[in-house]
Structures are given as structure tokens and as C-alpha cells.
Amino acid sequence: MNKRAPSKPRNLKSTVTALMGYFKDYRNQLFLIVLMVIVSSVLTVYSQYLIKPIINDGILPLIGTQPTLSALSPLVKLVLLAIVLHLTSTVIMYVQSRMLVKITHEVLNHIRRDLFSAMEKLPIGFFDTHSHGEIMSHYTNDIDTLRQMLSVSFPHVISISFSVTGTFIMMVWLSRPLTVITILLIFVMYGIIRLIGSRSSRGFVEQQAAIGQLNGYIEEMLSGQKVIKVFGHEEHVKTTFDDYNEKLRAASTYALSNANILMPIMGNLSHFQYATTAMFGAILILKGHLDIGSIAAYLQYTRQFSQPISMVSQEVNVVLSALAGAERIFELMGQEPETDEGIIDLCHVIETDDGLIETDAFTGLWAWKVPGRDDAHFYYKKVAGDVRFSNVCFQYEEDKPVFTNVQLRAKPGQKIALVGHTGAGKTTVANLLTRFYDVDLGQIAYDGFDVRSIKKSALRRSLGTVLQDTRLFEGTIMENIRYGRLDAEDSEVIHAAKLANADDFINRLPQGYQTLLETDGTNLSQGQRQLLSIARAAIANPPVLILDEATSSIDTMTERHIQEGMDRLMTGRTVFVIAHRLSTIYNADQILVIDKGKVVEKGNHDILMAEKGFYYQLYTGRAMLS
């Protein structure tokens, strides 16, 4: 379940400040845009003023006379001037609009890059507690509302600001009494906007949260269609979808109902204001305080003055929605990134009579690069694969311990098997060794170094991991295997596939290694996907392997093929095997039986069977391994 969004932005100032920071490289262009908006606004305002001389100097003198070419000349000149001013204003607005669109999309491009970069730095724990749909909504809904605000609402607000200022000055100049009447009516309109706009704001924030929830649920259901159909839960998931959909409908209806009602209300108030102004203007004309040209120009200005207020009622909704989305984006960017206090790196070396020498070439020989006292000199220690857990305590959630004083030792080249019930803590060994999570107490040592002193990137490159949940990407089989080492040659990819016994089935495919995989490799069987995942680990040639139930989804015949490849792959490496099938780990050097976060038994297969303890019960089926 996603967290509910706040009813209003918690820190509007910081959100706006962060957003404006993306425009710092475009200050000159923005200055030019603002200048063009000012010029366009001045031309528009002045063109409206021409109504006064057009009527007073161009039309009224012609009443009751026979128009001549010379008599029409002032009127024609004024009309042509008005047309030129309008056309010039239109061209200027077109140019500034094109410039602003370009800047907007460059800024959005920058925001998306920063958002993705921030997401890649987040710890695994963040993704364990936030749905994919919720995260995706930042890239879709939130970014789109920002685009709407920056490319449409932003120029409108600037234009309105200068237009209203210029219009107000001209209104005061033409008639102060009528301006007072107009301002009083505008305050009434503003009060209504503020009342309805605040309700609309709450609705749009709830709408954004509901969209994130719905998207997350849809994505989850799409990936789980087989499970849904197998258990016949179509009606149940449709009911749940209807609940999420109804929540979105209710939030959207509330937000848009309040937003859409603004325009009719403001339109009618604008007409009322116009009629009221015309009535008082007529009285002033009758009393000789105002001429016809001035009232005509003023009425045009008052429409120009009230119309932006009506437009603001629309832009307020867009801005509020965009700022709510921007806050969500910056909250994700502001999440605590995965910290890395490690100083020890990993590198390839060649072994000479003078010792280990670092090289950029892929030699298959790994070494720890340890900084000296002055950080300018290093010494190298060959990666052996000696892993030791000492009194390790860990919990994912407070007061729910997963590990309690766990002790285990994997000597270089040993195959260590971890068995136990689901939830006993087997996979947590892999999570802690890869530092997806850090221990709460105790220490994990790798070749004598505390893993927290090793750079995370270096640590993870030294660990080849094959997960039960295989993850393949759109692209060719060759590219998916090469993902384990991006600089690998085609021949090395093929060698890794042969090592994992995947070469045979790959060559039977129509395009062989160039076969395109669909999303997550759905055009392959589960066993074939697992073989590719193992080949990907093989090409990385890591000193330590972690096989998290790597053969759990493979049939018995495929398992025999893969076991041969796995035996070749595991030669000379330290291997952690997390398995449900106990038949796959009988030849392990050491088997650790984990129950309720503790190692309750350890030894090889024969020793544990002779003890007739928990492992014996699991192996013989007397205790269910789930």
C-alpha cells in the first residue's frame, strides 16, 4: 500500500527553490523571454488605448458629414497602427513561446536524468517498500504536470502579470472612479477563486496519490497474470481494481468539479462587472466627466483586466497539481542514498616474480587494492574468497530479528549450503554479504577485511549472484549474457554459455545467440532463463558465487545438465548455495541449517545425516521444507 500524499505540499518554498535551480543555466534566455513578454504586453495594452482616438478623432468627426479621403485618413492610420501593433505582439509571443518550449524540455530532460540517477543510488530497502507503479508515476504523471506548468502556465502567468499591470495603469489614467468600482468587483472574484481553488488543490493532491496507487496495482497484476488465472482470482483482482479505480474517480471528480466550476462563475461575474462598469460610465458621460472614446477604451481594458483573473483560475489548478508532483519528485531525489564508506577497491592483476601488478586487462585474477597510510600508495592482496560471519545480528524491521549471533565460515574454495524453512534467514546471508543491507551487530569479514571497508561496487563485482527470480532484458541472448561483463568478446560469451550448459539450447534457436528476447525473456522457458542467468554470472568470473535457489525452477533433466556446468563453474571458487532441493547440495563441503535466525546445525551431508537432527528430518521429509 502506498503512503497517502499530504493534503497540501509540506514545504512549498523548498519545492519552488529546487525547481528554479534547474533554470540557473538559462538566465540569459529567460531574461530575453521576459523582455519579449513585456514588449508584447506593452504593445497589446497600447493597441487597446487606440480605441479612444479611433472613436474620438476618427469616427465622431465623421458623424453627420460626407466622408472624404482626407477625412478618413486619421481613422485609417489609427486602424493600421492597431493592426501593426497586434501583429508585432503576435510574432514576439510566437518567438518567446518557441524559446520557452525548448528550455522547458531541456529542464525536464535534466530533471529526469537527476531523478533516475537518484533512484539508482537508493538502497534495495527503498524498492522493497515502494511499488514500481508508485515510482513510475514520478516519470509519467508528475513530469507531465510539470511540463504543462512550465510550457503553458508559466508564460501565461508572466504575460498576465505585465498585462494586468499595464492595463491597471491605463484604467487609472482614463477614469479613477471606474477603476475603484472595478477593483471592488475584482476582490469579490478573488475571494471566490481562493475558496474554490483551495478545495481543488486538495483534490489534485489526492488525485496524484490515487494515480500512483492504481498504476502500482496494475503493474503488479500484469506481472502476476499467470498466478491470478491459476488460482481463479480474476473476480477478486477486478474487485480490488474497482476499489482503486473508484478512489481515483472520486478524487478526480472532486478536484475537477471544483476546478471546472470556476470558469462559469468567473464568466458570469465578469459579465456583471462589465455591465456595472458600462452603467456607471454612461452616468459619467451624461455628467460630462468622461468622453465616449474613453469609456469605450476603458470597457475594453476592464475586460482585459478581468479576463486574466478568469485565466488565473485555470492556471492555479495546473500550478497546484504540478507543484504537488514536483514535491513528490524532489522527495524521491531527497531520499537518503545508499552510503558507501568503503576504501578498498577491486582490480585485475597479473602475478610476477615481483608480486602482483595491477592491469586494465581482464586476467581472471582478482586482487584487493588497499590504500596505504598516505592514500597515495597501495598494496595488493589476492582475492581468496574467505568469508566469515562473526556474531551477526540483523533485523529488517524493528523488534523482528532475522539473525541472532550467527557464526559461519566459508574457507576459500569451499561450497557452503544453506538450508532451512522459508523465512529462516537463508537469503538474508546473500543480502548481507552483498551489502544490500548492513548488519546491526557483529561483523562480516571477506579475506580478513570488514565488508564495510570494501567499496560496494568492488564488493559486488567480486560476487557472482544467481537469483531464483531471473531478470532478463530486452535485447539479444548475446547481450543478456554479456551483461555480466560488458567488455566481454563474443567468444567469451559463448564460452560462458557452454560452461553453464546453455550453448546447446541457444544454438537450437532460429537466430542462435542473436535471438531477441521479449520483456524478461518470456519467449524462453523458466529453465532456459535460469541457464542464461547462470551464464551471465559465469562470464563475470567472480571469486565468490551466491546461488540463491538457482535450480528451484528447473526440471530434473535440465538440473543434471546444469549441475555439470555448475560443478565446472564452482571449481576454485567459494560458493554459497541456498537451496530448497536438498539433492543439489549433498556434496557441499559444509551445510548450515538455519532455523529462526540461528545456525542450529553444521557439517557435511554424511555427518548431519548421522546425527539424525533437523537436517535429517528435512532430507527424509519428516519435516516439511517450505
pLDDT classification of 622: cutoffs 50, 70, 90? low
As to burial, measured by CB atoms within 10 angstroms (0-12 exposed, 13-18 middle, 19+ buried), residue 504 is exposed
Residue keyed to cell 557472482: 464
Q: Measure the CA dihedral 514/517/521/523, to 10°.
A: -100
pLDDT classification of 148: cutoffs 50, 70, 90? confident
Residue type, 281: G
Class assignment of domain 387-620?
alpha beta
User: Once rounded to an integer, what is the mean pLDDT over residues 74-94?
Assistant: 88
> Which one-letter DSSP state was computed for residue 59?
I
Point out the least confidently predicted range of 211-225, 328-342, 344-358, 592-606.
211-225
User: Are domains 12-333 and 387-620 of this chain identical in fold?
Assistant: no
pLDDT at residue number 478: 93
Order of all β-strands in the sheet with 574-578? 463-466, 544-548, 574-578, 415-419, 590-595, 598-603
pLDDT at residue number 62: 75
In this prediction, what percent of the chain has a pLDDT beyond 70? 88
Contacts 24+ apart (CB under 8 A), 305-309: 305/164, 305/167, 305/168, 305/171, 305/182, 305/186, 306/182, 306/185, 306/186, 306/189, 306/269, 306/270, 306/273, 306/274, 307/270, 308/160, 308/163, 308/164, 309/186, 309/189, 309/190, 309/193, 309/266, 309/270
More confident residue, 130 or 374: 130
Give the phi and the psi of residue 355 in degrees, each rounded to 5: 115, -155
Mean confidence (pLDDT) of the chain: 82
Residue 186: which of 293, 312, 314, 316 has the closest Cα? 312
Q: Is the pLDDT of residue 307 over 70?
A: no
Q: With contact defined as beta carbons under 8 Å apart, do 297 and 281 qualify?
A: no
Q: Is the pLDDT of residue 395 over 80?
A: yes
Q: Is the pLDDT of residue 13 over 90?
A: no
Point out the least confidently predicted range of 8-12, 417-421, 613-617.
8-12
User: Once rounded to an integer, what is the mean pLDDT over residues 248-258?
Assistant: 82
Report the distance separating Cα 367 and Cα 379, nearest Å. 10
pTM for the predicted model, two decimal places: 0.68
Q: With contact defined as beta carbons under 8 Å apart, do 584 and 560 qualify?
A: no
Note the pLDDT tens digit of each residue in 156-171.
Answer: 777 777 777 888 888 8
Give one word for 161, left, alpha or beta, with left for phi > 0 and alpha for psi -120 to 50. alpha
CATH 3.10.300.10 matches 12-333: no
β-strand partners of 370: 379
Longest dimension (CA), the chain: 126
pLDDT classification of 93: cutoffs 50, 70, 90? confident
Listed by start position, the domains of the chain span: 12-333, 345-382, 387-620
Q: Is the pLDDT of residue 81 over 80?
A: yes
In this prediction, what percent of the chain has a pLDDT beyond 90? 13
User: Once rounded to an integer, what is the mean pLDDT over residues 610-616?
Assistant: 87
Of 12-16, 43-47, 99-103, 307-311, which has the strongest mean pLDDT?
A: 99-103
